Structure 1
Amino acid sequence: MSRRKYVILLLGVFTVCMALTLPKLVKPGTTVPSFGGQPRSQQTPEIINGQDTTTTIHVALSMSDAEFIYWSKLNDEFNARHPEIHVELMNYPQAEAYPEWIRQSQVGSPIDIILMDNTMIREFAVTGYLSPVDDLYAGDTLADQLEALTDSLKWNGSLWGVPVDSDPLFVVWQDELLRKAGLDKPPVSWTTLLTVIETLKSNNPALQLIDLNPMDGRHWTAWLGVFGGNAKDASNMTVLSDQAQQQLRFLAEQDVKLSVQHTAGELNSWVERLKKQELLSAVFSWSFYNGLPDTARKQLAIADSASSLAWSGGRSFVLTAQSKEQEAAKEWMSAMTLPDMQSARYTELGKLPARKSVYQSGFEWEYSASRPPNWLLDVLDQPLFTPDPDWSARWNRWSDLWKGLEASKPLGLKEIDNLIRAWNGAQKSGAKGAAGNL
């Protein structure tokens, strides 16, 4: 063989070897240039006997752009650690998520996992759109879950979701005003509150009892469930009791200026009014409370009794019945709900973790924005109600009832009486489709 032919042969062998080995030198999840000159993220599939063995799963989310960026970073890290699994995230607008997930469940879309509000899960489970995830609670995992967050995930002897976090609503109180009324903590009974109001209003007739979002059914449920004996009834969404009706009418009488117009931007004005002792209480989400300046937070008190909505605002991963890659999907869900992951998300997003163990290192007396308070275990680690198959439908009717208020009108006794009659009438008749008549 001539020298020239020998050199050509060596070059050919070298080229073939480089073509076969170069892809293996690029780590999964790294950035490589595309043909267009712009960087792109490459997920290199595992090749065995010439076959692509990478499993692709799709996760549906519904959240703000800022939170989606955070979850995308977590997912990129997972993809880099698991080259055999490629996870794609999809973010749906909040107003479109629920009907779109229903539609896709009916037609059999490729979605494997949904990060779903706890209030939706029973409906999806009962209609056959989900697969149970009991095997993800093996060992000590179930014992580490908070009861208030897993209750709404139970149906037919199985668990249909894995809790991720919670951003519950709480009624917060102006601490100095409570002290002026002779209390060292928020009232836990209805009769005590009536005494507090009578005492405070004798010196300040313009004092407002509470501020909340009148068009949000969750806010009303938080108000109804804050006093002893009402929590379970409020959570079950049953017929309004005499005390519940009295609470609603009393609120309309006290807060005759309460307007249905309410925006997120008004939250800061709430805080200022609380600081000035013009407002006794308000309904806040935990993440909002957690983000307040220390000076404002020190003037507020939260009752350490169970809130009827301790579980609401919670989100869980659910596994769709149509998923063809359930094992890979469960591996991703398990990785994303580990205690360390939940602790880091609390620091970043302010949403409460779903694992008891994350609270055990939390503060007890001194406040820390980076760790959840361990006194919340008393609120979140107790069952509040037993879900039934019609609960989700009742919740939707309750939400629609308050959304139907006219934004241009103040909320008074007449409106409250109409709402009470509409709700109790629908509940007593048992009409599942009564939402439009409320």
Structure 2
Amino acid sequence: MARRKSALVFLLLCMMAVILSPWAKAPSPASSVVPIPEEETHATVEPADIREISYLKIEVAMDPAEFNEIKNENARFVQANPDITVELTRVDPGQAYSEYKQSSEMKDSMDIMLLNNEWVKEFASSGYLLPADAAFVGKALAEQFDALTAPLKWNGYLWGVPLDMDPYVLVWNMKLLREWLGEDVVLPLTVEQWSVAAEKSEQSAVPASWLAIDGSEPFALLAWLENAGGHRSDELLEKAGKPWEGAPFELPLSLLERHRASIRSVETDEAFGLMKEGTTLVAVVPYSTAADELADSRSGIDSLELDHQSWRLPWIWPRGRSFVISADSDNEEAAYRWIAGMTGEQAQLDRLEQRNRLPVFRSFYDSDRKLNNLLPGRTGQGFPNQAPLILGPDVTVRLQRLSGLWERLFNGEATLQQWITEWNAPLAADG
């Protein structure tokens, strides 16, 4: 019986071995390798970096020649920043204030505008602008002169980024000056010497003018008063007191009134034409114009001399321009980048070379001998390291009133006493 059971167990084991033997010899699926032909391999493709395109509309107050230059700068910027598209348009500088103000009032202004510094605080306080602090990249803010940034500050923010400056200077015909006042004459002239020069022009056998100046441009008048009076002129626009009476400006103004017949009222482009003719003693022109004309060896005006001694005063009008961002803009970040590109170091150097418009970074004046001879950098205590005395949003209105009074005085439509009375009356009303 035991043998039968053993045989039965043995038989069952043999049958199981026969049944399972094919599976034991079969290859394991886990160990199988299916080769992929080389041509069928696929590389992983990363998704492309897709940036949102920003569209900027920019309007600049420039003459056609300067506009062509900034178009070239803009083309280089757009090439380096393909995610920003720019529509750049020009407005006539003489119409810029009214056009900018009208478009801002209608909430239809461009993303970026180029404003005279004196306009910025008015536009900012009226709610037309966005703060521009973020447009100062790296050391740009620390490089700025107080004379340029003070007019841009309002309620703790900066509302513009300085582009350049172009103060007025005097250009003298030294040959004529020595004929009229003697070989030993030294600049700057006293008020008495100015008076003698005016009388000499009226006594000249050949028709001659003692002064060529724009008869409606307030900054030209203020530049001449600074030279003749030897005093900063921003206090003339202050509310308090009677700044036009007494020293240091009443005598120079009375000189203009008495001898206006021998003054030539000309725009900047015409002034050097008179100087080249040799029939004008001195012209009041922007620095950029004077530097360009005097650097031209073909001009044939060796007797002319540039006089910027009034720049040694604590403050003069810098005639600065700044980029601002409209409160209507939806492209604030792109606007910051564009402004930073247009006001960077290389852009300022290009503008100096092409247009003779002075840069706004202090370091240029520290490192360049020619510029340092014009203005101090960080160490100077005078212009442009001081802020103006008048900083309110009404500076533009006061300059417009000054322009009207100057034009009337020059044309003989108002006396100096009427000037003083009319200027003081609204100031008294303002308190």
What corresponds to 1:86 in structure 2?
85
Partners of 1:329 and 1:203 in 2: how far apart? 53
Partners of 1:225 and 1:234 within 8 A in 2? no
Contact 2:58 2:113 in 1 (8 A): yes
Give the residue type in structure 2 aligned to 1:170: V
What is the one-letter code of the residue matched to 1:290?
A
Contact 1:68 1:91 in 2 (8 A): yes
Residue 63 of structure 1 is matched in structure 2 by 62
Matched, 1:380 2:384: yes
TM superposition score normalised by structure 1: 0.73
- Note if contact 1:185-1:303 (Cα within 8 Å) is conserved in structure 2: no
Equivalenced residue count is 364
- Note the alpha carbon deviations across 1:351-378, whole angstroms, 9 max, x for none: 11112223334344xxxxxxx4542236
Partner of 1:120: 119
> For 1:18-417, what aligned pairs fall within 5 Å after superposition?
48=50, 53-109=52-108, 111-137=110-136, 139-175=138-174, 177=177, 180=182, 182-187=184-189, 192-195=190-193, 197-198=195-196, 205-206=203-204, 208-226=209-227, 227-234=229-236, 236=238, 239=242, 240-243=244-247, 244-258=249-263, 262-264=266-268, 266-272=270-276, 276=278, 279-292=280-293, 293-294=296-297, 296=301, 299-306=304-311, 310-364=316-370, 372=371, 374-377=373-376, 379-403=383-407, 405=408, 411-412=411-412, 415-417=415-417
Structure 2 letter corresponding to 1:258: I
Deviates more, 1:291-300 or 1:203-212: 203-212
CA distance in 2 between counterparts of 1:56 and 1:285 reads 35
Alignment partner, residue 426 of structure 2: 426
Cα distance, 1:427–1:174 mapped onto 2, change above 3 Å? farther
- Alpha carbon RMSD of aligned pairs, Å? 3.2
Question: Cα distance 1:291–1:237, how it changes in 2: closer, same or farther (>3 A)?
Answer: farther
CA contact (8 A) 1:56 1:86 kept: yes
List gaps (5 residues or longer) in structure 1.
1-45, 365-371, 432-438
What amino acid is aligned across from residue 428 of structure 1 in structure 2? A
Q: Quick one: distance in 1 between partners of 2:151 and 2:347? A: 23
Kindly provide the amino acid, as one letter, of the partner of residue 350 in structure 2.
A
The normalised TM-score by structure 2 is: 0.74
Structure 1 equivalent of residue 42 of structure 2: none
Which aligned segments of 4 or more residues in structure 1 are displaced greater than 6 angstroms?
A: none
> Is residue 174–residue 281 contact of structure 1 (8 Å, CA) maintained in 2?
yes
Change over 3 Å in CA distance of 1:232–1:218 after alignment to 2? closer
CA distance in 2, matches of 1:252, 1:400: 15
Partner of 2:43: none
- Seen in structure 2, the aligned counterparts of structure 1 residues 62 and 414 have a Cα distance that, compared at 3 Å, is closer
Distance 1:237 1:346, change over 3 A: farther
**By how many angstroms is 1:329 displaced?**
0.6
Gaps of 5+ in 2: 1-47
Q: Distance in 1 between matches of 2:384 and 2:182?
A: 30
Identity among equivalent positions (%) equals 27
* In 2: Cα distance, 1:358 partner to 1:249 partner: 40
- Cα separation, 2, equivalents of 1:388 and 1:297: 43
- The question of whether the paired residues in 1 share the 8 Å contact of 2:195 and 2:255 is answered with no
Contact 1:222/1:309 (8 A) holds in 2: no
417-426 vs 245-254, which deviates more? 417-426
Deviations 1:41-77 (A, max 9, x none): xxxxx973xxx71111111112222222211111111
